[in-house]
Amino acid sequence: MEEEEGEEYLFKVVIIGDSAVGKSNLLSRYARNEFNPNSKATIGVEFQTQSMEINGKEVKAQIWDTAGQERFRAVTSAYYRGAVGALIVYDISRRTTFDNVTRWLEELKTHSDTTVSRILVGNKCDLVDIRDVSVEEGKALAEAEGLFFMETSALDSTNVKAAFEIVIREIYNNVSRKVL
Ligand code: GDP
Ligand code: MG
């Protein structure tokens, strides 16, 4: 199929995971290069649109943040609707957040009617002294579930851009394959 000039790509990506793992800060670091040391959960869903260039094309991702709803187990189907990418985030210094990854994956699967490009994100990798989940455990889970994997730090910016862009690139590749 021939591509029209100025063709636009806009993909919905969701960030999920337990409360306080750093979802909002990953998004603010990626979209605005900002970090907020105080956790303040906002009520309601928020999203940010971020562009990247792939093969000379502008690809936009509309990235959704649960904005505190996960505290009340109230992430609704509207949140997941139309999502083609997901970052499943845990905190490397809190094992319970890693144990709950399976639950988040199940929820994502329940609400998805399409292939979702997924990455497992072990955030707060700057907290080496109080690490509670090893890199190997993260990698092993990702491999078992067929996910990309990366450890990140929204605090010091490690791998934040890379984690979002690996997902967006994969979505783009899936779409391109379908078109051809
Ligand atoms: P959310 O509930 O998943 O959206 O988590 P937040 O983004 O609100 O972050 C929760 C808390 O963890 C806040 O106090 C953040 O400052 C802190 N935090 C987030 N990311 C990091 C990180 O990469 N490293 C460290 N040390 N703290 C972080
Ligand atoms: Mg948040």
Q: How far apart are CA 148 and CA 31, in angstroms?
A: 21
Is there a contact between 17 and 89 (Cβ–Cβ < 8 Å)?
A: yes
pLDDT, position 71: 66
Residue 150 counted as domain residue: yes
Q: What string of pLDDT tens digits covers the 180 residues of the chain?
A: 445 555 678 999 999 999 999 999 999 999 999 998 886 665 556 889 999 999 999 999 999 998 777 766 567 788 999 999 999 999 999 999 999 999 999 999 999 988 999 999 999 999 999 999 999 999 999 999 999 999 999 999 999 999 999 999 999 999 887 665
pTM of the model as a whole: 0.93
Domains of the chain: total: 1
Domain containing 130 equals 9-176
In a domain, 1, yes or no: no
Distance 177 CA to ligand 1 centre (A): 36
From the CA of 156, give the closest atom in ligand 1. Answer: 23
* Residue in 174, 150, 121 with CA at minimum distance from that of residue 11: 174
Q: Given the structure tokens 């928020």, which residue do they identify?
A: 46
Q: For residue 19, what is the domain's CATH number?
A: 3.40.50.300
Kindly identify the ligand whose nearest atom is closest to the C-alpha of 39. Answer: 1
Using a 6 Å cutoff on CB, does residue 158 contact ligand 1?
Answer: no
Q: How far is the CA of 14 from the centre of ligand 2 (A)?
A: 12
The answer as to whether 152 is a domain residue is yes
Question: Is residue 2 in a domain?
Answer: no
